[in-house]
Chains A and B, each alone.
Chain A
Amino acid sequence: MNSILEFFYLYKETIFIIALSIILGIVVISNVPAILHTPLMSGANAISGVIIIGAIILVGHADNTLTLILGLIGIVLATLNVVGGFVVTDRMLEMFKRKKQK
């Protein structure tokens, strides 16, 4: 129990951010029309590619070959997630826009 309290105290700012972000996530996507479910899921998926920053930091201080190789694979995979995710979302939304202009 004490170790949990100690952990909370050390990371209180981070835990504050987490708690408020959870609420933010719920509020932000409330009232989304069904038509946007797929693009929204795809866009959120691209944002979760933010792990790419971690992969860059990992490679940035890699001090052995294994870490370097796995880290570089991590960057490639995370970039796929980010670039692919945003491009696919844009492709989906492009269709809605074209139709609107008519």
Chain B
Amino acid sequence: MEKITEVTRTLEFTSGQSVLELSYLVAAILFVLGLRMLSHPDTARKGNFWAAFGMILAIITTIVFYKDDQGNGIKNLGLIFGALLIGSVAGWIIARKIKMTAMPQLVSFFNGTGGAAAALISLREFPNIDPSLLSNHGMFNGQVLVILLGLFIGSVSFTGSMIAYGKLDDKIRDIRASFLKYVNIILLIIVIGFFVYIMSRGPVSPDKLMPVIYLLFTISLIYGVLFVMPIGGADMPVVISLLNSFTGIAAAMGGFLYHNDAMLLGGILVGSAGIILTILMCKAMNRSLLNVIIGTFGGGGVSVDREIGTIKEISVSDAAVLLSYTQRVVIVPGYGLAVAQAQHVCNDMVKLLEEKGVEVKFAIHPVAGRMPGHMNVLLAEAEVPYEKLVELDDINPELPKTDVVIIIGANDVVNPAAEDDPTSPIYGMPIIRAHTAKNVIVMKRGMGKGYAAIENLLFYADNTRMLFGNAKDTLQNLVAEIKSL
């Protein structure tokens, strides 16, 4: 039985142990290089491959060479291979079969499974703690704290990711009750109370503490649900990135527990990179992380009694004429494009317009869709050339010279309230200034509000025309009309 004691641990040299540690070193280096290569478009795919190779190496050498302090190797090999096979086949099939639009929730789902594994390990390793660790430590007991943190963070990551998955998949609705904020703070205080109680319990057999550990496990799972529940709308990408970071930290706690440097480094690497990515996303929305976590995107904003003008529709044939006889067109894609799977037909329209001598570009808002880079991935699938995708800061100065802006299923990222209405929940978020263009065509399923549930004055502007319907159908009709011109 593995005892978690550093003091008595003496690593005797065996060639197997040495090969194992060496392979962990190689795996850790491959994780770092892989992540580095993933940050550059040219090397990204190779980076992913090398990181995966490092992982396979670490898994195989663990199975072959791992020995615990008593020199026992890995038992239950048949069952382990069975579990690996089930997980691999299921993971492969899910990852291959899922539609491109469901990518954000899929990342969230896989993240949750990792968190669950981390929580289960802490849960079942706690009874294996050396009882001597539970005594003579006063208030602080690092080794026990590491296990408890792994349990807590892993559990939160698990249920939190599953709720985020459900929300993005439209299976779970937002619950915007402000009292949840206080419930969450109370739960967090209770969790810290548990930590202090378990650490300062004094000499006791770990088995005696198991009921308390299961209680802590349950509360952690509930906390994960309630943590994500009130966070809604445009903030979901940030939450997934944060939970991704959590899973990394939980894995690192496991690494600490097993003196496993590959787990430790891999986990911490993901933990810190995830936090940085989260902060980058928050910056893109001009909000603080704290604001995302405790603040809730509510309704509000433009009040109902204010005069907001009228909605003006445009027919498909008029839109086709308008688009065919202009110089500059900018397309602003949003989640509606992804939902309707309209990226291919959208590219068809772009090609048609270009044949007619129209210059077409795409304006990509950093948080358009449900995840940063969501639109890039989607348009890349439709083989839209990379150079056509222009980022927020570069496209905005060009918009006043643009003849037609087509907004396809985007809403909050073009809402002028972010610039001129201090009472709006999205006030201060950088937007694509579509309202500065000469003409705006908005493709939308209906007059429903965006994910942040706020009114968009752009739809009522004098130079805006609405084209209602499913984005794919509308674009197909539009393509047919442009062809017949």
Contacts and interface: CB of A to CB of B under 8 A. Distances in A.
Interface of A: 2-4, 7, 10-11, 14, 17-18, 21-26, 28-63, 66-68, 70-100, 102
Most buried by A among B59, B124, B268: B124
Given A18-B264, A80-B113, A92-B377, A37 B277 contact: yes
Interface string B38-77: 1111001101110110010011001100101000111110
Interface of B: 1-2, 6-7, 31-32, 34-36, 38-41, 44-45, 47-49, 51-52, 55, 58-59, 62-63, 66, 68, 72-76, 79-80, 82-84, 86-88, 90-92, 94-96, 98, 103-104, 106-107, 109-111, 113-114, 116-118, 120-121, 123-125, 137-143, 240-241, 244, 247-248, 250-252, 254-274, 276-277, 280-281, 284, 364, 366, 371-374, 376-377, 380-381, 383-386, 389, 391
Contact of B268 (A21, A67, A91, A100): A21
A44 B36 CA distance: 11
Given A29-B277, A84-B91, A90-B45, A45 B121 contact: no
Given A4-B140, A58-B124, A62-B76, 13 more contacts: A4-B142, A17-B264, A25-B271, A29-B277, A45-B244, A53-B254, A56-B66, A66-B124, A74-B120, A81-B114, A84-B94, A85-B91, A86-B51
Given A81-B113, A89-B48, A54 B118 contact: yes
Contact of A48 (B106, B114, B141): B114
Given A51-B121, A99-B386, A24 B269 contact: yes
Contacts of A17: 261, 264-265, 268
User: A-B pairs with the 3 shortest C-beta distances?
Assistant: A79-B87, A25-B272, A60-B74
Contacts of A24: 32, 269, 272
Given A54-B118, A79-B84, A81-B117, A47 B51 contact: yes
Contacts of B76: 59-60, 62, 68
A98 B277 CA distance: 26
A11 B226 CA distance: 35
Most buried by B among A36, A38, A55, A70: A38
B44 A76 contact: no
A53 B260 contact: yes
B55 A48 contact: no
A53 B62 contact: yes
25 contacts: A4-B142, A17-B261, A21-B272, A22-B272, A29-B39, A29-B276, A34-B284, A35-B389, A36-B40, A36-B44, A37-B281, A38-B377, A40-B35, A43-B34, A48-B111, A48-B247, A48-B248, A53-B258, A60-B68, A73-B120, A76-B83, A77-B120, A81-B110, A84-B109, A85-B91
Residue from A2, A17, A86, A94 having most chain B Cβ neighbours under 10 A: A86
B48 A43 contact: yes
Contacts of A83: 87-88, 91-92, 95
Contact of A56 (B63, B366, B391): B63
A40 B424 CA distance: 32
A42 B395 CA distance: 28
A4 B143 CA distance: 11
B118 A51 contact: yes
Tell me which of B111, B138, B381, B384 has the highest count of chain A C-beta atoms within 10 A of its own C-beta.
Answer: B111
A55 B344 CA distance: 42
A15 to B, nearest CB: 9
